[in-house]
Amino acid sequence: MYQYLYLKCSLIMSKVTKISFLPFSKVETDNLKTLLFTARFFVYIALAYFLNGFGTFLYDVHEIVNLYNFEQTWRVIFTNIHQALLLKKLLWEMLFSAAILATGGILAAIVSFEFKYESKSD
């Protein structure tokens, strides 16, 4: 009985949770392979840029926590000019990462539209 439920649940979950680490894995193309590669590359660049910015921010906050006690940390971050610049840097890196990600999405949409309309016209 339990084996049947386990097999049934694992079959359902395998159909539901197909995880692919390739961005836009369901997008197909015959003519715009370079554009699709560029869109996927932009996603990886955006992810790396986001993780770099977030990691730098966490490291710098960790350094501030080590210098001051925890209660003073956020006051120091928002009053000290260096830390205010750090927050602005984090904000710009997040926005730039989102812009790169959006550009990759637009490129993938162009590829998808091309494939969809090319296959309908045949």
pLDDT tens readout for residues 92-110? 888 999 999 999 999 999 9
In this prediction the pTM is 0.67
- Here the tokens at position 9 are 């649940």
Residue 21: inside a domain: no
Residue 59: inside a domain: yes
Residue 96: inside a domain: yes
Q: What is the tally of structural domains in the chain?
A: 1
Q: Place 36 in a pLDDT band, splitting at 50, 70 and 90.
A: confident
The residues, ordered by sequence, that sit 6+ positions from 27 with a Cβ below 8 Å of its Cβ are: 36, 108, 111, 112, 115
Residue 74: inside a domain: yes
Separation between Cα atoms, residue 79 and residue 92, nearest integer Å = 19
**Domain span at 83:** 36-121
DSSP state of 25: T
Residue 58: inside a domain: yes
Q: Place 15 in a pLDDT band, splitting at 50, 70 and 90.
A: low
